[in-house]
């Protein structure tokens, strides 16, 4: 069993990201904010370590990803350590264009890394979610996150 995804960053960094989620969502419990950040870490790890596949976070997990991104030095270092490829955020919001295979594929890639995606936080967009978040991104097919591996010297991918 791999270490918890939250161990990808220090306890201090984790707490700071969790606080960022709570600042954006004042009524959110600390435990829930921590779960959201941990799922954000799993998402970034999947994007970094399994490039070339279109992935996207759920709306709830996107909130955790946003918190990581706002800690720019932490985030750049995390991406470098995970795979050397910066995982860029391509915002988009079109709840009518939700594509379930995106989240299915992302959860599968997280599982391939040895983690379980929190099923309560990886659901489809709906009016009745586990928790309401400030993030308004809903990544549809045209704004999935596809990481292209960096070319190796000599142009070999």
Residues 26-84 pLDDT 10s: 899 999 999 999 999 999 999 988 877 788 888 889 999 999 999 999 999 999 999 87
* pLDDT band of 2, cuts 50, 70, 90: low
pLDDT greater than 50 at residue 111: yes
The closest of 22, 42, 36 to 64, measured between CA atoms, is: 36
Instruction: Calculate the average pLDDT of the chain.
Output: 81
Q: Exposed, middle or buried by CB within 10 Å (0-12, 13-18, 19+), for 142?
A: exposed
């Amino acid at each position: 069993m791999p270490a918890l995804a939250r161990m990808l960053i220090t306890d201090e960094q984790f707490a700071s990201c969790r606080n960022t989620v709570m600042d954006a969502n004042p009524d959110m419990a600390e435990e829930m904010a921590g779960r959201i950040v941990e799922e954000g870490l799993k998402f970034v790890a999947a994007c970094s370590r399994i490039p070339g596949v279109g992935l996207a976070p759920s709306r709830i997990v996107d909130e955790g990803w946003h918190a990581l991104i706002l800690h720019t030095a932490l985030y750049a270092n995390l991406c470098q350590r995970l795979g050397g490829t910066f995982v860029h955020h391509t915002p988009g919001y079109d709840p009518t264009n939700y594509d379930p295979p995106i989240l299915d594929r992302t959860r599968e890639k997280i599982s391939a890394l040895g983690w379980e995606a929190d099923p309560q936080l990886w659901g489809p967009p709906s009016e009745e979610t586990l928790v309401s978040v400030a993030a308004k991104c809903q990544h549809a097919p045209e704004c999935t996150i596809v990481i292209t591996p960096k070319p190796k010297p000599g142009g070999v991918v």
